[in-house]
Structure 1
Amino acid sequence: MSRSRSNNAGPARTARPALDALLADGAGDPVRRAMWLDTLDRRLHSLLPPTLAAHARLGNVNGHRLVYLVDSPVWHARLRLAGPEILDAARSIGLDVTEFVVKTTRPQPRAPQPRTAARPLSARANEALRDAVATLSGDTTGKDTS
């Protein structure tokens, strides 16, 4: 009788977590960058004015450009006014940035609205529905016999 599972638990058989496996080679570079941007966003987020923090997030660091995303034109204008302070904060944590860019993103699609309860049928619609069911069931009188 052969065994389908091996009991060899040596180093070659030890499974690595999926993230470690992904980051082990060059294919993990975009993941590493996304993780770095996320960490950076968290650090800079706490330095934003409280009114802006809920509407702005770090989009990218592209060379000497610090790119932020906001959810409406109103917040775009307000974040641009706070740009010099945000650049100073970014420099204080070690970023070599000299340009501040704000982009407005599209509004997120709204969640579908819950369906409202069906309205009761009018007397005429109710009669037409009964006639249609009667026709399909072979009852030509249209009267409910139950």
Structure 2
Amino acid sequence: MSGSRSGSSKPPGPRAPAPPRNALDALFAGGAADPLRRALWLDALEQRLRPHLPPSLAAHARFANVDGAKLVFVVDSPVWHARLRLAAPALLDAARSVGLECGEVVVKTTTVPLSPDPPAPRRPLPIPAAAREALQAALAPKDVPDGTKKNDS
């Protein structure tokens, strides 16, 4: 009998661990992939439609969704609602140019601003006297054994 084991089937040994995936790859591999892909697709679609909004309207309108053959936008006041309705034909043409079969623009008005106000600048807190004295003492030049003052700067 030969010492060769080419014809025998032995159980496979332990496998090397799979290399780590980055976080985005892990998200797209799981069950949450479909909503993430849709969100990224909607974001890319907004980037393509935004240049077709009139400049004065762009800050007050956001592309929200595609609902069948409807493009859904959100605006922050009724005035912008009317202006977006006027811009609807150009938006529909732009959507058709990227492959969407849309026939209507739906505009919804929200009561909250679309872009939040920037946070107010914070005033610095006052430093307690004891902390100020400790800081000054720490930054003051130190006496060195030979009688001279050492400057650490």
Could you tell me the TM-score, scaled by structure 1's length?
0.65
Q: List runs of 5+ in structure 1 lacking aligned partners.
A: 1-9, 117-146
Task: Please report how far the alpha carbon of residue 13 of structure 1 lies from its aligned counterpart in structure 2 after TM superposition.
Answer: 3.9
Task: Please report how far the alpha carbon of residue 26 of structure 1 lies from its aligned counterpart in structure 2 after TM superposition.
Answer: 3.2
Q: Helix, strand or coil for the counterpart of 2:53? A: coil
Q: Check the 8 A contact 2:52/2:90 in 1, yes or no.
A: no
1:85 to 85, 90, 106: 90
Aligned equivalents of 1:78 and 1:65: distance in 2? 18
Aligned equivalents of 1:33 and 1:77: distance in 2? 28
Aligned equivalents of 1:114 and 1:62: distance in 2? 41
Based on CA coordinates, which of the two structures has the bigger radius of gyration?
2
Q: Check the 8 A contact 2:77/2:109 in 1, yes or no.
A: yes
The residue that corresponds to 2:103 in the other structure is 98
Aligned identity (percent) is 62
The residue that corresponds to 2:37 in the other structure is 32
The residue that corresponds to 1:23 in the other structure is 28
The residue that corresponds to 1:53 in the other structure is 58
- Over 3 Å counting, the alpha-carbon distance change for 1:114 and 1:82 in structure 2 is same
Task: Please report how far the alpha carbon of residue 115 of structure 1 lies from its aligned counterpart in structure 2 after TM superposition.
Answer: 8.9
Q: Select between 68-77 and 101-110 the one with higher mean Cα deviation.
A: 101-110
Choose between structure 1 and 2: higher helix proportion. 1
- Over 3 Å counting, the alpha-carbon distance change for 1:29 and 1:115 in structure 2 is closer
- Over 3 Å counting, the alpha-carbon distance change for 1:11 and 1:87 in structure 2 is farther
Task: Please report how far the alpha carbon of residue 111 of structure 1 lies from its aligned counterpart in structure 2 after TM superposition.
Answer: 6.6
Could you tell me the TM-score, scaled by structure 2's length?
0.62
The residue that corresponds to 1:130 in the other structure is none
Number of residue equivalences: 107
Task: Please report how far the alpha carbon of residue 110 of structure 1 lies from its aligned counterpart in structure 2 after TM superposition.
Answer: 5.6
Q: Which amino acid aligns with 1:107?
A: V
Aligned equivalents of 2:45 and 2:38: distance in 1? 10
